[in-house]
Amino acid sequence: MKRIVKIEGLDCPNCARTLQNEINKIDGVKNAEINFVKSKISFESEDVDKATKDIVNLTRRIEPNATIVLEKTNKNKKMLILDLVFLVLGVALGLISLLVSLPTWAFWIVFVASALLLGYKTYLKAVLLLFKGVVNENLLITISVAGAAALGEYMEALMVIFLYTIGKILEKLAVDKSRKSIEDLTNLQPEFAVIVKGEEEIKVSPEEVQIGDVIVVKPGERVPIDGEVLEGNATLDMQSLTGESVPVSIGATQKILSGAIVLDGVLRIKTTEEYKNSTVSKIMNLIENAQDKKSKTETFISKITRWYTLGIIVLAVLTLGIGWAITKELNSSIYRALKLLVVSCPCAFAISVPLSYFSGLGNASKNGILIKGSNYLDALSKINVVAFDKTGTLTTGEFQVEKVECLIGKYNSEDIIFLASLGEQYSLHPLAKSIVKANKRELKHIKNVKEVAGEGIYYKYNKNNYFVGRKNKQEHVAVEVYENDVLIGRIFLNDTIKATAKDACLQLKYMGIRTLLLSGDNKEKVEAVGKELNIDECHSELLPQDKFAFLEECKKDKKNFVGYVGDGINDAPSLTLADVGISMGINGSPASIEASDVVLGDDNIEKIPHAIKISKFTKKIVWTNIIFSMLVKVTFLVLSLVDVASMMLAVFADVGVTLIAVLNSLRALYYNPKKKLN
């Protein structure tokens, strides 16, 4: 049986990985995973109650500032206040111990009390994890504080733990900021749905709503299920879904997505999906699972930090031994080794790299781009070829009347559309719906309507016999209208190109990315769309297996890193094969969404260059943090070894670098992908 519990106060990705490893060692616990961004632990067990208790006890032992909670609390806020109170008290006692002349016994009581108040969590965690065989930065700081105190460097001992604790508090605030931006997206989940049964309105959970039920949504409420508006007009806040802040107007017959907030008006909606398949549920699932797949950079950093700390301790011992052997001065050799421990803390790497990716994923989500993991966020930056499906991807997939050809003088274009709509109003064919939508007159109910599959609609109106359909083979998409077996007009329809398609393709070209169009449609239509959008290569009349084979061939050239964009079931194989598969979130089939790595929440393909820009910017920040942290640490490491830098400067180097890296990571959260990439 699987269970998910909330964990509060866990604000270090490295600590989360350590805790996850220890939880998986508990008897009866399997497949335990910690979602750092969502602050959740998922695990499997035959006895979940016992397993939960064991996890609670383990967490209490090795993560004193983290707590497993089974109901909503405000523990994080209380813990922050308590940390600040202890910090102030610790500083006050430290100043007393350093500035006031006290008897030796009194000095040590006040000094130790100050050191404990400033860093008791750090010391406790270091000891508890050491018993578990885990060595991390907490142990480095603990040794440094104890060593400095033993050498009589009391002020420096307190400064080490004071600055380290301040740094951890600021890190926590930065992590919470990034985490909240992502968690805000999960507030899309509606708490209830109101089903209309006759004159009665019944409040139920969204999971209870069936396809075809009629629900009502009032001002201030969130739409719980995807559907079609039956009655009412309203303005919707779609920002959580699409990233666009401008409200959208909606009315009868229009599709409406779950997660949107009704700002005014009352809507009656006929549901077209179950909750589990609705837009808001898809978004929730994608966000929940986004942290399961980590980038190579993030995985590498997490792996080396496990051994890095132990290596630093060994290096410090060697430094002490070599220094003592050469200088014969034990105290200065110990002091030099302690400075090495402080400077070499891996905090900057351990926190800034995952935080950069969290911020990048959060930024993408805010802009309606759902990326299934930081490895895919990383992969987006490498794309140099983007292959598009046509229908439903570059085009709307909804036909519109392009022109009307009148073959009888007494009828004009409006007459032909009206006569066709009289019969087409009874058809479910996509072309029929488009013709009825173009009609401007009031339609009357007619009798003797007969639809023949593959042909069209036969009906009678004003004592005349009519037929709407296609009797003659044509290159263009056209519907013929016959009156008493005489062809009186043709209605030509066209699948319109998405309004954002041209800008998307132009942006990709500006970024140096080659574009391809792979379609099963005929050559003439495909080349027309390709020319309109200025696409580099067009390939027509391709079956799904042909697209797959084309991408395989394209990927044989190792220089090509391919993104494929599609929306249908037939696109699923190509989405899986591509280095990055990108699907449509609204009109995309469940198979294509499942097979893809990136989902465009509002089907807006202009979000593709936006996603690539966010990816490139995030990757730039990650490597800036790594290189900057490494350069500063190496510089101060050398200065410490040659006794130029003091312990105080070593602490500033560690804490300062960490804070700069954290603040730099948060830039990925606020980067605007609509601007040109720097």
pLDDT tens figures, 56-77: 888 887 777 777 776 555 556 6
Tell whether the model's pLDDT for residue 287 goes beyond 80: no
Mean pLDDT, to the nearest integer, of 98-102? 89
Tell me, yes or no, if 557 is annotated catalytic.
Answer: no
CB 366 within 8 A of CB 288: no
Relative to beta strand 385-388, strand 537-539 is unpaired
Give the model confidence (pLDDT) of 511-553 as tens digits. 999 999 998 777 888 898 899 999 999 998 887 788 889 999 9
Instruction: Give pLDDT, residue 419.
Output: 93
Q: Residue 494: its pLDDT value, please?
A: 80
Is the pLDDT at 184 greater than 60? The verdict is no
Q: Which two tokens stand for residue 198?
A: 């006759």
Q: Which two tokens stand for residue 179?
A: 């985490």
Determine the Cα angle at 8 with ends 6 and 12, to 5°: 115
Total Cβ atoms within 10 A of residue 90? 22
> What is the distance between the alpha carbons of residues 424 and 467, in angstroms, rounded to a whole number?
10
Cβ atoms within 10 A of the Cβ of 412, count?
Answer: 13
pLDDT of residue 506: 93
Task: Please spell the DSSP secondary structure of 450-504, one letter per residue.
Answer: EEETTTEEEEEETTEEEEEE--S--SS-EEEEEETTEEEEEEEEEEEEPTTHHHH
Q: How confident is the model at residue 305 (pLDDT cuts 50, 70, 90)?
A: low
**First-to-last CA distance in the chain?**
49
pLDDT for the residue numbered 467: 93
**Parallel, antiparallel or unpaired: strands 456-461 and 227-231:** unpaired
Burial (Cβ within 10 Å: 0-12, 13-18, ≥19) of residue 56: middle
Answer whether 479's CB lies under 8 Å from 468's CB.
yes
* Domains detected in the chain: 2-73 (3.30.70.100), 210-273 (2.70.150.10), 368-395+499-614 (3.40.50.1000), 396-497 (3.40.1110.10)
pLDDT above 70 for 244: no
pLDDT at 647 over 90: no
**pLDDT given for residue 385 in this prediction:** 95
Other beta carbons less than 10 A from residue 462's beta carbon: 10
455-501 confidence digits (pLDDT tens): 788 999 988 999 998 777 666 778 899 999 999 999 988 878 888 89
403-437: pLDDT as tens digits: 899 998 889 999 999 999 999 888 867 678 889 98
Instruction: State pTM to two decimals.
Output: 0.68
**Lowest-pLDDT choice from 82-91, 316-325, 587-596:** 587-596
pLDDT digits (tens, 9 = 90+) for 375-393: 888 899 999 999 998 878 8
Which residue, 333, 347, 348, 312, is CA-closest to 640? 333
Say which residue the tokens 């979130």 belong to: 585
Q: Report whether 539 contacts 519 (CB < 8 A).
A: yes
pLDDT digits (tens, 9 = 90+) for 190-201: 778 899 988 888
Query: Burial code of 546-575, b = ≥16 C-beta within 10 A, e = fewer?
Result: ebbebbeebeeeeeebbbbbbbbebbbbbb
Mean pLDDT of the chain: 82
Predicted local confidence at residue 180, as pLDDT? 63
Which of the given ranges, 560-569, 614-623, 642-651, has the highest pLDDT on average?
A: 614-623
Q: Say yes or no to pLDDT of 4 above 50.
A: yes
Distance of CA 552 to the CA centre of its chain: 28
Spot the catalytic one: 226, 389, 602, 654.
389
Task: Give percent of the chain above pLDDT 70.
Answer: 87
Please provide the DSSP assignment of 405-437 as one string: EE-STT--HHHHHHHHHHHHTT---HHHHHHHH
The larger pLDDT score, comparing residue 251 to residue 282, is at: 251
Q: Can you give the pLDDT at residue 22?
A: 86
% the chain with pLDDT above 90: 22
Q: What's the CA gap between 608 and 593, in Å, rounded?
A: 15
Residues 634-658, mean pLDDT to the nearest whole number:
76
Rg, Å, the chain Cα set: 32
- Say what the pLDDT of residue 678 is: 47
Give the pLDDT confidence of 112-162 residue by residue, as tens digits. 999 999 988 888 888 887 887 777 778 878 888 888 888 887 888 888 888
Nearest to 117 by CA among 157, 145, 75, 85: 85
